[in-house]
Amino acid sequence: MKYSPIIAGTMTWGSWGKQLSKNEMADLIQFCVANSISTFDHADIYGAYTTEADFGNAFKASGIKREQIQLISKCGIQYQSDNRKNKVKHYDYSKDYIIWSVETSLKHLKTEYLDLLLLHRPSPLMVAEEIAEAVTILRRDGKIRDFGVSNFTASQMEMVGLRTNIDVNQIEFSLTQHKAMHDGTLDYMITSGIKAMAWSPLGGVFKEDSEQTRRIHKQLGTLLDKYKATEDQLLLSWILKHPAQITPVVGTTNKERLKKAIEATKIELELEDWFLILVAAQGHKVP
């Protein structure tokens, strides 16, 4: 596998969340690698354009070798912040901007290449040919190894993919947000050989108190002893059973939860249990 079975999402490691110190971040990197989580998911905008540099400093201090990990980053969102004087939040997928953004991420992350570059969100003004030109140059110069997109629909993947090969699409996918199973997104990815990654894989199960989440908790509760698992592990195993072979991107910085996430990859839900969980989320039986 090019990427670890669970990916560590870094969005909340810095100023947008836990505000980890350099030593705390280095310790967490070491912990992840020691527990088979070797892929780290970034975006240039995280921490208002500061988290990649914080991670890069921590990575340098961690003593972990570059070949032991995989680094993902995303570009394209022009975010309003003190570090980027934009009049409005917007998207920029011009050739020069993509190349500049990758080079800036490389500098911040203290690495010579990204294992994967993703276009963060689709833009109504993106030009597939210009994206392809940038990707060709970045591949040629060894600055990226794989290329992909994030939050793209099937038609958007097809448009960009006609000009340059798409390796990955990172989408929102969870028990409470599973429309990608029904709108053709995952079907297209399977057909086209595009790897699926899922951000926010636990969805709203632990964030919301609603009829839906109460149904889900009740159903998961009946399966905990059977699988000797926690609720969050069952939610991850539910995703992992899909034939698109979806890799969850988990955003926690809690070491125990990270360990449980990697352990969840060993759980094999029985077919009817998978559908029981789906029915609990939907509130009705399948058609």
Q: Where are the domains of the chain?
A: 7-172
pTM of the predicted model, to two decimals? 0.97
pLDDT at 117: 98
Query: Choosing from 46, 49, 93, 188, which is the catalytic residue?
Result: 46
Give the separation between CA 146 and CA 9, rounded to whole angstroms: 18
pLDDT at 76: 97
pLDDT at 108: 98
What b/e string do you get for 147-181 counting C-beta neighbours within 10 Å, with b at 16 or more?
A: bbbbbbbbebbebbbebbebbbbbbbbbbbbbebe
29, 40 Cβ separation under 8 angstroms: yes
Q: Give catalytic status of residue 46 as yes or no.
A: yes
pLDDT at 83: 84
Residue 85 reports pLDDT greater than 90: no
Summarize pLDDT for 172-207 with one digit per residue, the tens. Answer: 999 999 999 999 999 999 999 999 999 999 999 999
pLDDT above 90 covers a percentage of the chain that reads 98
CATH architecture for residues 7-172 = Alpha-Beta Barrel (3.20)
pLDDT at 84: 87
Summarize pLDDT for 126-171 with one digit per residue, the tens. Answer: 999 999 999 999 999 999 999 999 999 999 999 999 999 999 999 9
pLDDT at 1: 78
222, 233 Cβ separation under 8 angstroms: no
